[in-house]
Amino acid sequence: MSELSISPYFPFRRINIVKQVVDETTSKAFINVVPDKRFHPVCHLCGHKVSAVHSWAQRSIRDLNLASTQIWLRCSYRKLFCSHCQHISIEELELFHPYLRVTRRLATYIHHLCKVMTVAEVARHLQLDWKTVKEIDKQYLEAQYGQPDYDGLRILAVDEISLRKGHKYLTIVLDYETGRVIHVGKDRKAKTLNRFFNQLSAKQKKSIEAVVMDMWDPYIKAVKKNCHRRP
Ligand SMILES: [Zn+2]
C-alpha cells in the first residue's frame, strides 16, 4: 500500500489503529485496533463507566470495503465486571454491535441496501453469508430514512453493484464515515453520479474531502467535474 494515511477513513474515536497488513493477492486488509486508553471503559448494556476489567478478548469484524479491498478490523476489547447492571459485559467501543460481526457502519449500509436489493444480492455483492445479511436486516433498528441530509459530508464512497451479471447496475453513494446510503442511482454512467452531485450546493460539494471508489472511468469523470479537491 502507498504512504497515504488510512486513519481519516476510520473515524472511530474510541479506538486506535496499531497495525495494518494488506494481502495483495486476496485484496484484503487487516487492521489491528485497540481501545484508546484516554477513554474510560463503558459498559455496552447500561452505558456506565466501569473500572473493573474481567479479561481481554479479540474478534475480527468486517468493515466497509475501501474501493475493492475487503477490510477486516482485528479488534481487541475488554470484558468488564459492571457493578451497575451486575453483569460481565463487553465494553462499548462505538464500533460494533456485540452480536454482529460487522462494524456499525457496515450494518447501516447493509440495512439500507436491503431496501433496494434482495438479501441474496446484498450477500453476493459484499461477499457475506446471506444469513448474516438477513440477521442484520432483521435486527437493525429502523433508522430514519427520510430526506437525505447532504450537509457536512466529508468522505463519500461510490459502490457499483451489478444485480445480474452484465445486465443491470446500481450506483450507490454512501457516507463512508457512517455507512448511510445517500443516493441510489440506476446504471453506472457519469450522468448517474452527476445527477447526485447536482442536488448538492456549492458549499456541500466543497466539504467533500475524498471519494472512495473503483477506477471506473465514468465515475472518475463525474467526480473530477464536481469535486475540486483530489478524488
Ligand atoms: Zn452495565
Q: How confident is the model at residue 1 (pLDDT cuts 50, 70, 90)?
A: very low
Residue 223 CA, ligand 1 centroid: distance in Å: 46
> 128 and 62, same structural domain?
no
Please list, residue by residue across 147-157, b when 16 or more beta carbons sit within 10 angstroms of its beta carbon and e when fewer do: eeebeebebbb
> 169 and 186, same structural domain?
yes
The residue-averaged pLDDT of 59-67 equals 94
The residue-averaged pLDDT of 110-121 equals 90
Residue 231 domain-assigned? no
Residue 198 CA, ligand 1 centroid: distance in Å: 47
Task: Report pLDDT digits (tens) over 151-169.
Answer: 889 999 999 888 876 668 8
> 33 and 93, same structural domain?
yes
- Boundary of a domain, candidates 47, 63, 98: 98
Residue 114, pLDDT above cutoff 60? yes
> Three-state secondary structure along 206-227?
HCCCEEECCCCHHHHHHHHHHC
Whole-model pTM over 0.85 = no
- Boundary of a domain, candidates 57, 81, 98: 98
Residue 142 CA, ligand 1 centroid: distance in Å: 24
Domain that holds residue 83: 7-98
- Boundary of a domain, candidates 98, 124, 150: 98
Residue 2 domain-assigned? no
Task: Report pLDDT digits (tens) over 15-28.
Answer: 999 999 999 899 99
| 144/77: higher pLDDT | 77
pLDDT of residue 2: 46
Give the chain's mean pLDDT. Answer: 87
Residue 93 CA, ligand 1 centroid: distance in Å: 14
> 162 and 122, same structural domain?
yes
> 120 and 55, same structural domain?
no
Residue 96 CA, ligand 1 centroid: distance in Å: 17
- In this structure, which amino acid lies at residue 68? S
Residue 200 phi/psi, 5-degree rounding, is -95, 145
Residue 35 CA, ligand 1 centroid: distance in Å: 18
> 192 and 94, same structural domain?
no
> 112 and 221, same structural domain?
yes
Residue 144, pLDDT above cutoff 80? no
pLDDT of residue 153: 92
How many domains, the chain?
A: 2
Q: What angle do CA 58, 36, 82 make, to 5 degrees?
A: 65
> 125 and 94, same structural domain?
no
Rounded-to-integer distance, Cα 141 and Cα 34, Å: 27
Residue 75 CA, ligand 1 centroid: distance in Å: 21
pLDDT of residue 183: 87
Rounded-to-integer distance, Cα 21 and Cα 28, Å: 8
Residue 10 CA, ligand 1 centroid: distance in Å: 27
Residue 175 domain-assigned? yes
pLDDT of residue 191: 86
Task: Quote the strand ranges of the chain, DSSP E.
Answer: 15-23, 28-35, 53-66, 69-82, 87-90, 155-164, 168-175, 180-186, 210-212
Q: How confident is the model at residue 141 (pLDDT cuts 50, 70, 90)?
A: low
Rounded-to-integer distance, Cα 195 and Cα 9, Å: 25
> 142 and 50, same structural domain?
no
